[in-house]
Each structure stands twice: as structure tokens, then as C-alpha cells.
Chains A and B, each alone.
Chain A
């Protein structure tokens, strides 16, 4: 009997791939135009923010408006990739992202509709897309978290650049793969220069930084005294206190807001964008406006300890007011040159 011919086997393998490939490149027209113009009391939200945070809010929303929400939860960056892969056929109406960078990535692919001006105008101009494709919902400040036993308050740095000095060798926790850290590095480049940012990263990398996977790990290690200080977002200390069931001021981990417009005090934002297919869906508008309303803003302030962005809603007790922060004067829309930042972080040796 002849051996089954090699060529036939290859042909079968290739043709099965080809069939899939051709099908994959099929030119089925997306049905973006068929968006509901009238209210069907139903919307689909992709949430890159955690379920434990968002779900109770969605329940409040449904109770108040009668609009039911199908919510899909995931990691913000992976969800942005999913949305881009889905393109115009995405089942999503709204993307609620943890990070302005992810919203920017989806904006760049032209998937978001421009939001109405009266929605955009609810938040200060720095916390929304230049083209109006997304709007910030809450703000978070970068801070230095420090252990009050290990770092006397008079030794706290005036600028984030001091952390590259020998006094801080081996003492600073950094999460270089975290989106917020990366946004901060982009801000360094925007506020100062690429050279200055690179110098900072190299200095930090050479100063024996304590690398962690994320902000929560840094705050936990600072609180337990494993590391004296770390660069994180302001609200993680409150989360830790919540999980331990204690008041934040009983923790060893304390917050230091860098003064005088230092880049170390960058205020970044979580926000929403509306997919083009849902541009005219009245239910989606109600939802976006709800997120920017008093009830939702107060909810975020109480639950996540983030800064509400709409005027008239106070931040969580114990936090300095958003307006009082000496945040650096940076346009968040300038923070979209991620590739260069990533290359710089990789080059610094903070991630290999």
C-alpha cells in the first residue's frame, strides 16, 4: 500500500486553514446603522472597572430609570483589545474604562461616537477627550504611600525626582507594568521632556526599586513595613483599610501628595465612551448622564475614594479636595503617546 501522499496531507491542512482564513476575511457588512433610535429600556455595558464596584451602582441605576443593564466585566486593556477586535459589530453600547489610555486606544480606532456638549461640559475640560469621544467619571491622584514608622514626615520628598537619590535606594515600591504608572511616565515626558523622563526611569531603575505587580501589593507591603514607600494611586490605602475593617488613619501606610504641580501628583481619570452603533440610543444617554449625576458621583466618592469630577460633590472624608491638589498642569489628551513610554520603561530595565 502506498503511504498516504505527503502532498495530499499538506493540501488538506492548508485548505482547512484557508477555509477558515477566507471566512475570517469575509466581507459581511457590519450593521452599525441599525442602532435603536427609540428606547428599549436595555443597554449593554463593557466594564473594565471591577464588578464589586460597578454592579451595585448599575442596580441603583436600573431601579431609578427602569433601564436594565447587561454588564460584561473584564480587564480594561484586554477589553479595549476586544472592542477593537469586535469593531462595528460589537454588542457593547458603552465602554466604562479604568484608564484614559484605554479610552484613547478605542478612540483612535474610530469606534466611539462624539458625546453631546451638555454631557461633556459637566466635567472640567482636562478630564475629557479633545474630540469629545469620551468623558471622565472619576479622578485619581498619584501619591507616594509611606510607612509612618519608617519614613519621618520631614523626610518626605518635595518632588518625585528625589526618589532616584541614594537616600531612597532600595526603599521605593514601583509597579512598572501598571497602567497608572505608565500614564505617570507619559506625563513626565509631556511636562518635562523625553530626556528628563528617561533620566528619571534610569535613575529609579538603578536605585534598587522594589518591583511589585500592582498598586495593592505595594500598599500592602508598605503597611506591613516590608518596604518603606511606594508610588501608587491614592485610593488603595482606603481599599486596604476597608478589607482589614479598620479606619484608614489607624494604618501605618499614609499618603503623601507631591506639592507644587510635581508630576508625581498627576491626576488621571476613569471614564466612559459610547460606541458608534449606540450613538442615538436614548437609554445610553441616560446612563452616561447618570454616571455624571450626584448619586453616582457620591457613590464613587464613598465606595472607591476616588475624586468625583462633577462640581458640587465632595471627596471622601480625610482626602484633600480635588481643587486643592497641586496637580501638574497636563492635558490628559496629551497622554496618548504610549508606545514611546512603553519603549522607555522597557529600556530602563524596570521591566525586562
Chain B
């Protein structure tokens, strides 16, 4: 059988279909609800108030510290994520599959659980660097997962060409391999950076003064909603900065898709003497990211005498968590589909603008998103207020970019020529979508759904504000118990939350292709 052909398509700048464009615009409109809310409330504050809140040394310091934290954590995640992705996909590391799962699993641990574990384990664990460490350990899977998938799926032909032209292994890695996965690295890094800006769990427990914390302080200390919201506008500005930066780093134009045949396995590098140090390093990272929280949860259970009301309480909360996360993930994916397809199939100004707009509220803390949906529910969608549907809408506003990225990546990989053939054979657009596009992008959609699902499960501030009255999820029961220092009662809720979130995380790990069987001999170089 001949080697699969690598086909390069020059992207055609075709005008998007009006229906797709309208659907994408409506979807992005949901993600923009928080911005409309911020605009309304900020305008009410008046210019002098805005100036008094924003043009201060403190705001400059906070912005600087937030950006510095985002930069440090992102750099850490890129090193850790790309490093471990490379080790599990391209080397003869022992127990590669185990390490691939270990590298994905930290995604299941909410930062508030990880931070609390660290603070209660290590004396004096507070400030900028400890917070950065916890955030790196919790968020490097955002880089690991897409990069591992890209490395596992990348066509080895280019690397072979580079090698045959006399470049060494290292030069080939930096000159060819890294370039191939650069979009995956950039996309993961952007998610990490935006996550760090929005995070409240880690920074409040490990105590570092960032913008998000200042927003909460304004509200909790002064009952000052307006001040908090004016501060939040700065986060939107910082996000615009980061999103633009990531856009500029992208290369436009060509995209690559393989038609026919299964891809060949990528080349494998022999680690030789580095085998054990490499697996040792990954073990240490795994122990820090997963072992410390696990150990800490067990100690919560052992130390206190408070007990959860009953297993029924945990089961009900778990059921609710699953249900609202499922609703949230489904709605988010439905909204992400047109945006992702538009980005992949009709790239251009409209697609780019919509895709970037979807990110704008992604760095806002859940509290601000929650309040904006309270505003939306009260004034626009009163029948939905305090129902799980409005909560699902909040999840969509929060996590739309995660799903859009997954859909766009999947659609980009599916060769458009198949759709064109179907269309040329007389199929209607909707039929083409149903019979060709959807099956091709389904795995990517599944990955996006899993990611959004587990992120919904971990979400707390918006859930507290928007959940139906009387409904508890694992995140809220965990909050209820920890807020009165009943850690032993909280432990089962935390454990179940992490275990349930681990299921979609495991699915994500399998999606990277690392877990799939591979000829163990591989082809070796080095």
C-alpha cells in the first residue's frame, strides 16, 4: 500500500453561508452578555467614578501582577505540557500510556481543592510563586492535551525530509516538529493565560493579589458592586491584549489534512540513559499535581469528626452536578458548532472577529458572569431565572471558547474536499452537514464536550448565584462544608467531584491518540 498522501489545501476565501454566519453571530452574542452587562453598569458609574477606580497606582500594580502571573504560569505550562507530550508520544519512555493519563488528570482537580491541599500541607505556602506553582500543576493539561494529539497525529514525512537533508534530531525537533505543533501550543497557552486571569480559587487561598481577587475584595469588603464591575472591565482589556497576541502568532493560509489511509506512527526517539530521569521527572510532577491533593483529602477525612449528612446527600449532589454540566456542555457545543465551522470552512474577517469575540469574556471571574446572567435573567429571560437553563447559558458564556477551539480543530482536520464532492453530487447543504461534516468532526466535538463538561463540574461562583433555589451540586456542597471548616464532611464531596471529573479527562487523554495501541518497536531514530 502506498503511503498516505499529505494534501495541502489552499484555503478558499469563500463568503460564508448566511445561515451559518447568523447562527455563529447569535452564539457569540451569548458570550457577549457579560460585556453588555459590564457596559451598562460601568456607564451608570459615570466617568469620574470610573476614573477614580481605574487610574490608580494600585490598578496598575494589580494589572502588572496579573499579567506576570499569567506569563509565568503559561511559560511553566508550555514547558511542562510540551515536554511531557513529547516524552509520551515520541520516545520509548517506559509506561507511556500511564504517564499520558497522569498528565491529563490534573484537569479533574479544581484549583480550590489543590490550593487548599497545598496550604494545609506546606507551612507558609502563600504568595506569587506558590500560586504560580499550583496553577501550573492544575492547568498544564490545557497545553499537554492538544500538543500530545498534534504530536501523535503529525505526519512524519516532513521530519523525515528534514532528517534526510542532514539536520540532526534536535534541529529537526525545533525546526520541524515544534513548528508543526505551534498552533496547538499557542491555543493551549491562550487558554492557560485566560484561565489564570479569571481564577479565584487558587489566588484567594494561596493569597496573591491579582485583579480577580481585587474584584472579589471590592464586593466582599465594601459591598461595592459598581467598583467591582468597573475593575472587571480591565480584565476584558487584558484579555483583548492576549487574544490579539495569540492571533498574531498564528499563521494564516494553508492547512494540512491527510486523505485516505491511516497515518503512520511518528518516529520514536530512544531515550537511552535519559529513560529513568525522564520517567522520574514525570512521576514527580504527577505526585505533586495528584498525590498532594489526594493525600490531603484523606487527611481531611481522618482529622475531623464532622460527617456528611449521608451518602444520599453526596449522591444527589453528584446527580445534579452531572445533570447541569451535561446541560451546560450540550448548550455550549450547540453554540460552538456554527462558530467553529465558520472558522474552519469560511475563514475571513467575519469568522476571525466572531471567534475572537467569543474569548473576550473568558477571563472574567465566574462571579461577574454570574451577576451578568442574573441581570439578563431578571430583565430579559425572567421565566428562565433560577432554572438550570439559565445556569447552562452561563456555562456557555463562560466556556464557549473551549468548545469553539475543539470544533474548529476537528473541522480543520476533516478535508473539505469530501464535503465539496458530496455537494457536487447534488446533496443539499444540510444533508452534507449531517452525513459528511458531522461524522467527520464528531470526535472533536466529543473532546470539546468532555472538556466543557468537566469545567462546568468544577465551576463554583456562577453556580452559586444562578442555580435553582434548593439545588446543590458537588461544587456547592463542597463550598458549604468548607465555609464552616467542616473539612471531614467536605472530603467525600471533593473526592466524588474529582473522580467524576476524571472520567471526561480520561476520555480526553484517549483522544490524544497516545493510548491507542502502537507498534511498540516503532521506527527509531537517534
Q: How far is the CB of A61 from chain B (nearest CB, A)?
A: 15
Contact residues in A for B469 (Cβ distance below 8 Å): 44, 70-72, 91
Q: A167 at interface (Cβ–Cβ under 8 A)?
A: no
Query: Do B223 and A338 touch (CB < 8 A)?
Result: yes
Assess A77 versus B29: contact at CB under 8 Å? Given A3-B13, A10-B353, A21-B36: no
How far is it, in angstroms, between the C-alpha of A229 and the C-alpha of B356 when the chains are bound? 51
Query: Do A87 and B481 touch (CB < 8 A)?
Result: no
Assess A86 versus B28: contact at CB under 8 Å? Given A20-B36, A74-B464, A179-B220: no
Q: Given B123, B476, B480, which contacts A226 in the complex, CB threshold below 8 Å?
A: B123
Contact residues in B for A91 (Cβ distance below 8 Å): 385-386, 469
Stretch from B134-142, B264-272, B367-375 contacting the other chain? B367-375
Query: Do A243 and B36 touch (CB < 8 A)?
Result: no
Q: How far is the CB of B61 from chain A (nearest CB, A)?
A: 7
The residue in B375, B379, B487 that gathers the most chain A C-beta atoms within 10 A of its C-beta is B379
Q: B224 at interface (Cβ–Cβ under 8 A)?
A: yes
Q: A339 at interface (Cβ–Cβ under 8 A)?
A: yes
Q: Given A3, A52, A70, A339, which contacts B222 in the complex, CB threshold below 8 Å?
A: A339
Chain B residue at minimum C-beta to C-beta distance from A352: B209
Q: B33 at interface (Cβ–Cβ under 8 A)?
A: yes
B-contact 0/1 string along A178-190, CB 8 Å cutoff: 0100100000000
Q: A25 at interface (Cβ–Cβ under 8 A)?
A: yes
Query: Do A13 and B353 touch (CB < 8 A)?
Result: yes
Query: Do A77 and B223 touch (CB < 8 A)?
Result: yes
Query: Do B40 and A77 touch (CB < 8 A)?
Result: no
Contact residues in B for A156 (Cβ distance below 8 Å): none
Contact residues in A for B37 (Cβ distance below 8 Å): 24
How far is it, in angstroms, between the C-alpha of A182 and the C-alpha of B61 when the chains are bound? 23
Assess A24 versus B217: contact at CB under 8 Å? Given A4-B16, A52-B484: no
Q: B35 at interface (Cβ–Cβ under 8 A)?
A: yes
B residues 56-109 near A (Cβ < 8 Å) are 58, 61-62
Chain B residue at minimum C-beta to C-beta distance from A102: B223
Query: Do B480 and A240 touch (CB < 8 A)?
Result: no
A residues 177-213 near B (Cβ < 8 Å) are 177, 179, 182, 211, 213
Query: Do B380 and A9 touch (CB < 8 A)?
Result: no
Query: Do A86 and B374 touch (CB < 8 A)?
Result: yes
How far is it, in angstroms, between the C-alpha of A179 and the C-alpha of B228 when the chains are bound? 16
A residues 56-107 near B (Cβ < 8 Å) are 70-75, 77-78, 80-82, 84-87, 89, 91, 101-102, 104-105
Chain B residue at minimum C-beta to C-beta distance from A5: B349
Q: Given A23, A77, A82, A341, which contacts B374 in the complex, CB threshold below 8 Å?
A: A82
Q: Given A5, A81, A101, which contacts B225 in the complex, CB threshold below 8 Å?
A: A81
A-contact 0/1 string along B216-233, CB 8 Å cutoff: 011111111100100000
Query: Do A81 and B350 touch (CB < 8 A)?
Result: no
Q: A26 at interface (Cβ–Cβ under 8 A)?
A: yes
A residues 6-25 near B (Cβ < 8 Å) are 6, 8-10, 12-13, 16-17, 19-21, 23-25
Q: How far is the CB of B103 from chain A (nearest CB, A)?
A: 31
Contact residues in B for A21 (Cβ distance below 8 Å): 36, 39-40
Q: B318 at interface (Cβ–Cβ under 8 A)?
A: no
Q: Given A1, A13, A70, A338, which contacts B28 in the complex, CB threshold below 8 Å?
A: A13
How far is it, in angstroms, between the C-alpha of A239 and the C-alpha of B489 when the chains are bound? 14
Q: A151 at interface (Cβ–Cβ under 8 A)?
A: no
Query: Do A243 and B378 touch (CB < 8 A)?
Result: no
Query: Do B485 and A243 touch (CB < 8 A)?
Result: yes
Contact residues in A for B217 (Cβ distance below 8 Å): 177, 351
Q: Is the interface of A mostly helix, strand, loop or mixed?
A: helix
A to B contact number (C-beta, < 8 Å)? 176
Contact residues in A for B461 (Cβ distance below 8 Å): 78
Q: Given B15, B16, B465, B484, which contacts A50 in the complex, CB threshold below 8 Å?
A: B484
Q: A152 at interface (Cβ–Cβ under 8 A)?
A: no
Q: A51 at interface (Cβ–Cβ under 8 A)?
A: yes
Q: B354 at interface (Cβ–Cβ under 8 A)?
A: yes
Q: How far is the CB of A227 from chain B (nearest CB, A)?
A: 11
Query: Do A73 and B480 touch (CB < 8 A)?
Result: yes
Q: A28 at interface (Cβ–Cβ under 8 A)?
A: yes
Chain B residue at minimum C-beta to C-beta distance from A346: B58
How far is it, in angstroms, between the C-alpha of A5 and the C-alpha of B353 when the chains are bound? 11
Q: B343 at interface (Cβ–Cβ under 8 A)?
A: no
Q: B305 at interface (Cβ–Cβ under 8 A)?
A: yes
Q: A143 at interface (Cβ–Cβ under 8 A)?
A: no
Q: B14 at interface (Cβ–Cβ under 8 A)?
A: yes
Contact residues in A for B486 (Cβ distance below 8 Å): 52, 243
Q: Given B304, B367, B483, which contacts A244 in the complex, CB threshold below 8 Å?
A: B304
Contact residues in B for A243 (Cβ distance below 8 Å): 304-306, 485-488
Chain B residue at minimum C-beta to C-beta distance from A226: B123
Q: B205 at interface (Cβ–Cβ under 8 A)?
A: yes
Query: Do B15 and A2 touch (CB < 8 A)?
Result: yes
Chain A residue at minimum C-beta to C-beta distance from B224: A339
How far is it, in angstroms, between the C-alpha of A12 and the C-alpha of B20 when the chains are bound? 13
Query: Do A75 and B350 touch (CB < 8 A)?
Result: no
Query: Do A12 and B480 touch (CB < 8 A)?
Result: no
Q: A314 at interface (Cβ–Cβ under 8 A)?
A: no
Query: Do B350 and A9 touch (CB < 8 A)?
Result: yes
Query: Do B219 and A82 touch (CB < 8 A)?
Result: no
Query: Do A213 and B375 touch (CB < 8 A)?
Result: no
Q: How far is the CB of A23 from chain B (nearest CB, A)?
A: 5
Chain A residue at minimum C-beta to C-beta distance from B218: A342
Query: Do B350 and A4 touch (CB < 8 A)?
Result: yes
Assess A81 versus B32: contact at CB under 8 Å? Given A13-B357, A24-B375, A25-B379: no
Chain B residue at minimum C-beta to C-beta distance from A87: B378
Contact residues in B for A338 (Cβ distance below 8 Å): 221-224
Q: A33 at interface (Cβ–Cβ under 8 A)?
A: no
Query: Do A77 and B25 touch (CB < 8 A)?
Result: no
Chain A residue at minimum C-beta to C-beta distance from B204: A213
A-contact 0/1 string along B412-424, CB 8 Å cutoff: 0000000000000
Q: A313 at interface (Cβ–Cβ under 8 A)?
A: no
Q: B129 at interface (Cβ–Cβ under 8 A)?
A: no
Q: How far is the CB of B435 from chain A (nearest CB, A)?
A: 26
Q: Given A6, A239, A245, A345, which contacts B221 in the complex, CB threshold below 8 Å?
A: A345
Contact residues in B for A342 (Cβ distance below 8 Å): 218, 221-222, 224
Query: Do B40 and A25 touch (CB < 8 A)?
Result: yes
Q: Given A25, A75, A244, A352, which contacts B220 in the complex, CB threshold below 8 Å?
A: A75
Assess A216 versus B485: contact at CB under 8 Å? Given A91-B469, A245-B305: yes
A-contact 0/1 string along B318-355, CB 8 Å cutoff: 00000000000000000000000000001011110110
Contact residues in B for A84 (Cβ distance below 8 Å): 225
Query: Do A244 and B305 touch (CB < 8 A)?
Result: yes
Assess A352 versus B464: contact at CB under 8 Å? Given A16-B32, A91-B385, A105-B223: no
Query: Do B378 and A89 touch (CB < 8 A)?
Result: yes
Q: How far is the CB of B439 from chain A (nearest CB, A)?
A: 28
Contact residues in A for B375 (Cβ distance below 8 Å): 24, 85
Q: How far is the CB of A18 from chain B (nearest CB, A)?
A: 9
Chain B residue at minimum C-beta to C-beta distance from A92: B469
Q: B182 at interface (Cβ–Cβ under 8 A)?
A: no
Chain A residue at minimum C-beta to C-beta distance from B374: A85
Contact residues in B for A74 (Cβ distance below 8 Å): 464-465
Q: How far is the CB of A240 from chain B (nearest CB, A)?
A: 7
How far is it, in angstroms, between the C-alpha of A12 and the C-alpha of B349 when the chains are bound? 12
Q: B163 at interface (Cβ–Cβ under 8 A)?
A: no
Q: B12 at interface (Cβ–Cβ under 8 A)?
A: yes
Q: B495 at interface (Cβ–Cβ under 8 A)?
A: no
Chain A residue at minimum C-beta to C-beta distance from B27: A16
A-B contact pairs, 18 of them (CB 8 A): A4-B346, A5-B349, A16-B29, A21-B36, A24-B36, A24-B40, A44-B469, A50-B480, A78-B367, A81-B219, A81-B371, A85-B371, A182-B222, A216-B485, A226-B123, A338-B222, A352-B61, A352-B209
Using A4-B349, A9-B353, A81-B228 as known contacts, list a sample of 10 further A-B pairs with CB atoms less than 8 Å apart, ordered by residue number in A: A4-B350, A6-B349, A16-B32, A20-B33, A20-B376, A82-B465, A85-B371, A85-B374, A101-B223, A351-B209
Q: Which 4 A-B pairs have the closest CB atoms?
A: A245-B305, A16-B29, A105-B223, A9-B350
